[in-house]
Every structure is written in structure tokens, then in C-alpha cells.
């Protein structure tokens, strides 16, 4: 996004970011928490800021700061609105079994992800997508939306789109992962696999952490990094039962079929599933 701005005729007044100052050489860097302070609105006005762009910041902007830019404040949200407001929308979309998604550029107001829409871009969710890859798709699809916003702001008079959010059920998702981040083996296999995918941000840290289960008999925590469906019924095996290994991988019984566990982490290290999940063990569910 900064490369887009640097290549445009616009002047970047400042960047509010935490711990990434070295990534924005030549730009003034402020701590992101400043947007919570109503006194920061005076700085925004004094600097002659036309647009405030919120790109993946988790700080809630004070209403006085939102009103300070000459043309407005805008948020690039990685999900369709109003159905996927809040945090970690790409992960929630995968977990919910969605096959399509969207990124939304919207006006910011005092609510969270409640402002009028400037533009949206549709995104396909594939069976191979993870929380990370879908988030990356949202970024790529969002850059042209911001570029179009800058063009609209340059017009005389400015012609920035403004359409109320569509009527429908608003859903707000918080910081916590489903089930507190634990795999529920009594759920259908597809739901479990989607949860594992949704929590996977490899090679980066996941906002949910990886999907977790407990190792018998001592209850040690194990992270499931990748898993897949088999299409094979469990013949009545109890949910959470570990089946015979398949090479380095293992099968674990879900409500309706065996789930193939392909990659796990134990004590922060990647390990072979078959080495730590013994056949016949029953994982907590």
C-alpha cells in the first residue's frame, strides 16, 4: 500500500504503525495508539490531511480523529459487510464454509465496520486456501480499491462513492477462535478441516494460533497445522480415536469420517504426527 502511495502524486503525512518504522524509510512514523487520542485530531487538521486510511490496524479511531481529515476517513476491511464485521474475517469465512468472500473499502464512523461502502471486490475461496492465503488475496484485491479512492479524491469536486451497507444480518466476530482454539472431534470432518485451514497462517503467526488438541495420557497440547478429509467412514469409531498411521500421517475419527492429520507441532517444533499420536489413543473432544 505504501508503494502505491509513494508512486502517486499524493504526500504521505505520516504512518501510524508499531515496530515497522524501518519498513517505511523517509516517512514520519507515529505510534498507532495516537488515533485513540482526541487531541490527535488537531495534528491531523494542522497537517492538512485530506484522507485517513486505515489498513489492517486494530486500533479503534476516536470520533474526533475520524472527523479531522478534509475528505474523510476510510477503512479497508478484509471481508464483506455487514456479514463479516470485526476481526479475522478471512479465517471466519473459511471456518464457516464459505466459497466466496470480498474485501470492502468503507467510510469510517463511530461504529466498528458500520460505515457506508465506497467499493467492494469479490474473492474466490478455494479448498486449498488458508487464513493466510485468503488474507493475502484480500490485500491484493484491496490495493486497486484504494487506488481508485485516490483518483476519486483528486477529482474536482471529489467524487468518492458512498452507498449504505446492504440490508441483512450484521455479524460481528471478535478476537477469540471457535471453541477457544480447540478441535472438537465430534464435529463433521469438513468442519474440522476448515477450522485447521482457517487457523493456518504459516509461515507467520496465526491470530488464532493453530487448531489444538490434547495428547493422552498427560494432556499435553499439540497444534494441528494441516489436515484433510479422507471420505472414509469410521465404522463407528469414537470421535477423537486415533487410527492406524498412514506413513508419517495419522487418521483421527470425526463425527462422520476419518480426518487425515498431516502436520503437527509439539512444544513449538514441527514433528511427525505418527510419532506423537499413537494408534488407539482417544483425543479429547
pTM of the model: 0.92
Q: Same domain for 223 and 127?
A: no
pLDDT in tens, 236-277: 999 999 999 999 999 999 999 999 999 999 998 999 999 999
Whether residues 159 and 263 fall in one domain: no
Structure confidence at residue 24 (pLDDT): 57
Q: Which of 120, 145, 173 is the last residue of a domain?
A: 173
Q: Which of 144, 173, 202 is the last residue of a domain?
A: 173
Q: What are the φ/ψ torsions at residue 27 (nearest 5 degrees)?
A: -105, 150
**Best CA proximity match to 138, nearest among 117, 123, 156, 157:** 123
Instruction: Indicate if 132 and 202 belong to the same structural domain.
Output: no
**What pLDDT score was predicted for residue 26?**
59
Q: Cβ-count burial of 276 within 10 angstroms (0-12 exposed, 13-18 middle, 19+ buried)?
A: middle
Look at residue 233 and tell me if it is in a domain. yes
How far does CA 100 lie from the centroid of its chain? 15
Nearest Cα residue to 265 out of 190, 211, 192, 191: 211
- Which set of grid coordinates corresponds to residue 32? 498507532
Range of the domain at 55: 2-173
**Do 26 and 159 sit in the same domain of this protein?**
yes
Residue 201 counted as domain residue: yes
Domain assignment of residue 240, yes or no: yes
Structure confidence at residue 215 (pLDDT): 84
- The three-class DSSP label of residue 182 is strand
What's the CATH code of the domain at 202? 3.10.25.10
Do 7 and 138 belong to one domain? yes
Q: Report the alpha-carbon distance of residue 98 to residue 127 in Å, rounded.
A: 10
Residues 183 and 252 in one domain: yes
Does any domain span residue 283? no
Do 119 and 225 lie in one domain? The reply is no
Q: Is 285 a domain residue? A: no
- pLDDT tens string 90-105: 999 999 999 999 999 9
Examine residue 186 and state whether it is found in any structural domain, yes or no.
yes
Identify the domain boundary among 145, 173, 201. Answer: 173
Q: CA 121, CA 80: separation in Å to the nearest integer?
A: 9
What are the pLDDT tens digits along the chain (285 aa)? 777 887 788 888 888 887 665 555 557 888 989 999 999 999 999 999 999 999 988 889 999 999 999 999 999 999 999 999 999 999 999 999 999 999 999 999 999 999 999 999 999 999 999 999 999 999 999 999 999 999 999 999 999 999 999 887 899 999 999 999 999 999 999 999 999 999 999 999 999 999 999 987 788 899 999 999 999 999 999 999 999 999 999 999 999 999 999 999 999 899 999 999 999 999 987
Residue 215: its H or E element: strand 211-215
Residue 26: closest CA among 40, 16, 14? 14
* Three state DSSP letters for 54-94: EECCCCCCCHHHHCCCCCEEEEEECCCCCCCEECCHHHHHH
- Of 285, 260, 268, nearest to 277 by C-alpha is 260
Q: Is residue 134 classed as helix, strand or coil in its secondary structure? A: helix
Judgement on whether residues 253 and 189 belong to the same structural domain of the protein:
yes
Query: What's the grid cell of residue 134?
Result: 485468503
Q: How far apart are CA 107 and CA 241, in angstroms?
A: 49
Residues 130 and 220 in one domain: no
3-state secondary structure of 21: helix
Give the CATH number for residue 37: 3.40.50.170
The reply to whether 215 falls in a domain is yes
Residue 23: its pLDDT value, please? 56
- What's the rounded Cα separation, in Å, for the pair 124 and 103? 11
Task: Work out how many domains the chain is built from and give that number.
Answer: 2
Does residue 168 share a domain with residue 237?
no
Q: Are residues 128 and 182 in the same domain?
A: no
pLDDT of residue 78: 97
| 24 and 52 inside one domain | yes
The pLDDT of residue 58 is 85
Amino acid at each position: 500500500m505504501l508503494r502505491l502511495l509513494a508512486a502517486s502524486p499524493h504526500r504521505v503525512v505520516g504512518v501510524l504503525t508499531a515496530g515497522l518504522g524501518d519498513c517505511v524509510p523517509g516517512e514520519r512514523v507515529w505510534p498507532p495508539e495516537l488515533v485513540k487520542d482526541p487531541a490527535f485530531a488537531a495534528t491531523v487538521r494542522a497537517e492538512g490531511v485530506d484522507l485517513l486510511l486505515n489498513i489492517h490496524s486494530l486500533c479503534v479511531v476516536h470520533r474526533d480523529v475520524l472527523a479531522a481529515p478534509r475528505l474523510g476517513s476510510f477503512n479497508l476491511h478484509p471481508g464483506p459487510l455487514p456479514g463479516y464485521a470485526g476481526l479475522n474475517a478471512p479465517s471466519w469465512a473459511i471456518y464457516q464454509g464459505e466459497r466466496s468472500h470480498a474485501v470492502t473499502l468503507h467510510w469510517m464512523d463511530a461504529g466498528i465496520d458500520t460505515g457506508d461502502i465506497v467499493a467492494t471486490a469479490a474473492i474466490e475461496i478455494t479448498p486449498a486456501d488458508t487464513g493466510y492465503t485468503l488474507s493475502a488475496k484480500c490485500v491484493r484485491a484491496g490495493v486497486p480499491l484504494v487506488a481508485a479512492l485516490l483518483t476519486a479524491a483528486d477529482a474536482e469536486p471529489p467524487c468518492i462513492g458512498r452507498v449504505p451497507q446492504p440490508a441483512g444480518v450484521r455479524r460481528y466476530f471478535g478476537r477469540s477462535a471457535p471453541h477457544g482454539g480447540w478441535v472438537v472431534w465430534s464435529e463433521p470432518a469438513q468442519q474440522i478441516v476448515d477450522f485447521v485451514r482457517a487457523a493456518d497462517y504459516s509461515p507467520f503467526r496465526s491470530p488464532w494460533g493453530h487448531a489444538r488438541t490434547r495428547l493422552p495420557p498427560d494432556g499435553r497440547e499439540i497444534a494441528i497445522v494441516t489436515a484433510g478429509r479422507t471420505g472414509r467412514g469410521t465404522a463407528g469409531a469414537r470421535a477423537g480415536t486415533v487410527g492406524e498411521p498412514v506413513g508419517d500421517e495419522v487418521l483421527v475419527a470425526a463425527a462422520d469420517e476419518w480426518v487425515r492429520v498431516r502436520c503437527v507441532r509439539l512444544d513449538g517444533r514441527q514433528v511427525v504426527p505418527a510419532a506423537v499420536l499413537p494408534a488407539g489413543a482417544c483425543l479429547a473432544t
